[in-house]
Structure 1
Amino acid sequence: MIRAEGLRKRYGTVEVLRGVSIEVARGEVVSIVGASGAGKTTLLQIMGSLTRPDEGCVTIDGVDLFALQDRELSRFRNRHIGFVFQFHHLLPEFTAFENVCLPGLIGGRDRREVEARATELLGLMGLSARRNHKPAALSGGEQQRAAIARALVNAPSVLLADEPSGNLDTRNREEIHRLFFDLRERLGQTVVIVTHDEGLASRADRTITMSDGRVVG
């Protein structure tokens, strides 16, 4: 479903990725672990088409991402790849509901369809009663759940998460961890998670360990 082959990436004199190749099956939850500076986030950014590699390719559902023109790539990213980051990046002037709707509206989908999907996802996240609250009125865990709903509004092929629970307390962290596996069970969602959290990594179907820009386990 996701195939990354021979990825290399250099920033100045530093080679961050050194020929990384991985595959992720549909419906699989995969964690990527390793020390800071191992190349985990760079790999995730390339898999999500946010950064182009110096060498190598990434295919999602058979589509070669970096063979696409910029506009085509942006459209593919909007429809097929969902992102969750350590900090939720919700727009403060919009409600939770409006934040969740944004990717669908940006993608040009029918407003009624997008709003119905957003309502469904906020219910799935346990946020129905909080839909009209702006981010400042939500707890950290609620903000992150809204961010996950936003990432899912276009029914993406893959959900990519970079330290999604790193900024949360123990209770909210455990809720977010459970949520990723609930999404796989309920939606068949494919999830790739970069994490330093050993508990989250151990629950994944498979763990990929990186060191010095290479996959070592």
Structure 2
Amino acid sequence: MIIEAQNIRKSFGTLEVLKGVDIVIGQGEIVSIVGTSGAGKTTLLQILGTLDRADSGHLHIDGTDITTLNNRRLAEFRNRRLGFIFQFHRLLPEFTALENVMIPALIAGMSRSEAALEAEHLLAELNLKERATHKPSELSGGEKQRIAVARALINRPAIILADEPSGSLDSTHKEELHALFFRLCREMGQTFLIVTHDEKLAAGTDRILRMHDGLLTSD
């Protein structure tokens, strides 16, 4: 199991958002989390992605007990073992596509030349080689999201966590992005955990986790 969480609880003030969630994800699975707005999906994803800490509970990711890591070690773990894709690409506007993809690798300590080679390879894999020197303002929405995927992949993380990754795209670009996720999962063996309102995307995943009112109601 690559993710094992037990009795995860999280409150914001008096509002209890997660009320004791248990979840187990296997290596190489592509799993969707669905539910109405406010059900706790994004909060759960942020905790599983170590972007936030649970108030209580146990979380092991890729054999590491996350609760034992201080902030510095947690940031290092996150950079090397996890990749993130958000609804909006969050590319830095002043950098080219290639430079945006390189950033996590440079943070991880890779040399600039090695990072550039790896970024170029990923852009080629995602049919973006010709866009390497373009800045985000010169790219389509679908291209920007694929660049965000390349950025998430550059450190070869064990897990990709995606929060409404196709929510800002039109139907054509949605289908292209979804097909890309399934291909990457199959070819690279990475685990994908996707929060989505898109029932078509969810239906194609290995498992659907449904949340309601801070609880996992079905698997």
Q: Shorter-chain TM-score: which interval?
A: over 0.9
Letter in 2 for 1:57: H
Distance 1:110 1:91 in 2: 20
* TM-score using structure 1 length: 0.98
How do 1:64-143 residues align onto structure 2 when only pairs under 5 Å count? 64-143=65-144
Q: How does 1:1-217 map to 2 (within 5 A)?
A: 1-217=2-218
In 2, the alpha carbon distance for the partners of 1:184 and 1:112 equals: 27
Give 3-state SS (helix, strand or coil) of 1:133's partner. Answer: coil
Once residues 121 and 185 of structure 1 are traced to their aligned partners in structure 2, the CA distance between those partners, rounded to angstroms, is 16
Between the aligned partners of 2:160 and 2:143, the Cα distance in structure 1 is 18
RMSD between superposed Cα atoms in Å: 0.7
Sequence identity (%): 56
Q: Deviations over 1:137-171 (max 9, x none)?
A: 00000000000100110000100000000000000
For residues 47-75 of structure 1, give each alpha carbon's deviation from its aligned partner in whole angstroms, at most 9, with x where no partner exists. 01000000012211110112101100000
**Distance (Å, rounded) in 1 between the aligned partners of 2:105 and 2:215:** 36
TM-score by length of 2: 0.98
Unaligned runs of at least 5 residues, structure 1: none
Structure 2: 5+ residue stretches without partners: none
The amino acid that maps onto 1:30 is: V
The 4+ residue runs of structure 1 with deviation greater than 3 A are: none
Kindly indicate whether the alpha-carbon contact (under 8 Å) linking 1:16 and 1:39 is maintained by their aligned counterparts in 2. yes
Q: Distance in 1 between matches of 2:198 and 2:161?
A: 16
**Preserved CA contact (<8 Å) 1:80 1:157:** yes
1-structure distance, mates of 2:160, 2:191: 6
